[in-house]
Amino acid sequence: MRVILDAVFNHCGRQFAPFQDVVENGADSEYADWFHVQEFPVEFEPRPTFDAFGFEGHMPKLNTANPEVRDYLLDVATHWIEATDADGWRLDVADEVSHAFWREFRREVKAVKADAYVLGEVWHDAAPWLQGDQFDATMNYPFTYAVDGFLTEGTMDATEFSDRVGRFRFRYPEQVNQVLFNMLGSHDTPRLLHRCDGDETRLRLAVLLLLTAPGTPCLYYGDEVGMTGGEDPDCRRTMVWDESEQDRDLLAFFREVVALRNDRPALRRGRISFEREQCEGDVVVYVMSTGEPDESVAVAVNRGAQSVAVELPDELPADAEVVFETGESELRRSDDRTFELPASTGIVLE
């Protein structure tokens, strides 16, 4: 097991001692330039007289252009890796801190532990942070949005889903795509099962998409045993440890799909190519391949209420077999290269 620490270097708490000194001493405080104070004395109502995260007065923004602030934060970053042998940092609100700071942050952290993992929270196009001089990866919320649109919200069809995933893949180098931090939810979003309106079938389809996509899949604790929860803080419920209250069948499914990925190089480091002619309406079909012989798998997902015919992609031979499915219906071949894919089912062929 490895442990990554979570920190925010964009802002601090209202009780942070340097900020309290500014509240007390105003412009005469030795820490006055540690923050972005627009007007002294510091006021909190009707709105803060200083820059704050989300305009919340209890979260004043730090001035990372100040050398003293940079030194303080970089000391925090290196100290906890040295003191605990932590394996990296997940960086909150990363897109609101300067690129210059993150470049220095990376240099300092990697000097202490070369393989420390630096992960940034960016909810949109993260290309500026993924040039090799700042983060090792970012949280891939665009992937989350695409899965939501196709499966949990139903706001996009298969064509738009494939276009959305492809659009972001073309924005990043392939080396970046292979390590993006893919997820279906986090402590900042309603639980996946909640977004699926409790429909476990749709949840399983989403998990299949996650575990068969390029990148690094991340599972939010408890999703694998059926935990649910709405908007923050409901999505942060404590883990359900009592096995009698866990969905053990769902846990078995998660284990199977994780094993599927671990056992197949194409799913761990392959490139994705969508079968454009088949990505229509309710059906998504794509191939994951390393380019090596016998290292290609096809994934087909039917979110609809009716079975559909799916053509076997050209990358797979006619004798390709189904090695994984989310449903329980028996799959039928129409001919050597055509499958009948049941409603609300996802399959993997090899």
Active-site residue, 330 included: no
Residue 198 three-state SS: coil
- 256 CB-near residues (< 8 Å, 6+ apart): 324
Dump strand ranges (E) for 147-295: 181-183, 216-218, 271-274, 283-289
Marked catalytic residue, from 95, 104, 121, 157: 121
- 83 CB-near residues (< 8 Å, 6+ apart): none
- Residue 37 is encoded by which pair of tokens? 């104070």
Q: Per the omega criterion (within 30 degrees of 0), is the bond before 317 cis?
A: no
Marked catalytic residue, from 51, 92, 125, 295: 92
Residue 34 phi, psi (nearest 5) = -75, -15
Per residue in 264-285, is it b (16+ CB within 10 Å) or e — as a string?
A: bbbbeebebebbeebbeebbbb
Distance CA(346)–CA(279), nearest Å, equals 14
Closest CA to 169 of 214, 111, 106, 225: 214
Residue 151 phi, psi (nearest 5) = -110, -45
Query: What is the full DSSP assignment across 1-12?
Result: ----EEEESSB-
- 121 CB-near residues (< 8 Å, 6+ apart): 90, 91, 92, 93, 94, 95, 138, 139
Active-site residue, 148 included: no
- Active site positions, annotated: 92, 121
